Amino acid sequence: MMAGLTSSSLVLALLWALSFLAAHRALTGNAQSLPPSKFDGFVYAEHRVDSGTIVIEAFLDPVCPDSRDSWPPLKQAVDYYGPRVWLVVHLLPLPYHDNAYVASRALNIVNMLNTSATFPLLELFFKEQVKFYNAQTLNMSKASVVSYIANFATQVVANSLKSAVVSGFENTQTDLKTRVSFKYSASRGVFGTPTFFVNGFSLSDSDSTIDYDGWRSIIDPLIAAQGDPLSANVHSY
């Protein structure tokens, strides 16, 4: 036994070391994918971004009830502020939601085929989320779940793209994108959904649903503190 360490403290030290190594391996295990070729996430509305734009990052799981409940007020707030707010949604498929990873992969597939269909599909997952809870697919094989979700996802794209959605699950790039999103969440210290960052900082109550008034109370003071927006340093995303 190491000097000065009790057996219990030694065990805790070893557990901490193992946890650190596991996290490090998760972030570096696929060197070819990190960093990715572009910033992770789905941009809610494409518009010009300048130094005064308020950036919201939302970490959501398409099969998470709290993510589902958090989306309408967040969307309402972002629509209210328009170009003053830039929203990026990062997917974090939680391991205890059996179908979260396949659903997240479907979102990446649809996004590659038609970016305008990404958020409609996310909202469709939220609307019919009960279909994908653990108990509902308990007796289905993994292949059956993939086929079920692939067919579900084709509702938001043209019928001509159905075969592309189905074959997208055989494309390693869609798997890689979904893995990168998970690793990105881990790199930011996010382990639950929904989690929100505003201008790079985690909200203190980001693991709970924020209503529309709550978002207004967060964003209004930030806009007021800026005064007149500057026109310099404008970038297009």
**Cβ atoms of residues 55 and 43 within 8 Å:** no
Residue 97: CB atoms within 10 Å: 21
The CATH H-level (homologous superfamily) assignment of domain 42-232 is: Glutaredoxin (3.40.30.10)
**Cβ atoms of residues 62 and 124 within 8 Å:** no
| Per-residue model confidence as pLDDT tens digits over 169-206 | 999 999 999 999 999 999 999 999 999 999 999 997 65
- Give the pLDDT of residue 38: 85
| Per-residue model confidence as pLDDT tens digits over 36-61 | 888 899 999 877 778 889 999 999 99
Strands (E), 5-140: 42-43, 48-49, 54-60, 85-91
Closest CA to 181 of 172, 170, 190, 171: 190
- Give the pLDDT of residue 35: 81
Q: What is the pTM of this model?
A: 0.80
Distance (Å, whole) CA 142 – CA 68: 24
What is the band of 159 on the pLDDT scale with cuts at 50, 70, 90?
confident
The domain segmentation of the chain, as residue ranges, is: 42-232
Reduce the DSSP state of residue 199 to 3 states and report it: coil
Question: Is the Cα dihedral 110, 116, 117, 121 positive or negative?
Answer: positive
| Per-residue model confidence as pLDDT tens digits over 69-96 | 999 999 999 999 999 999 999 999 999 9
Tell me the CA distances in angstroms from 125 to 65, 106, 119, 130, 138, one per residue in order. 11, 10, 10, 9, 18
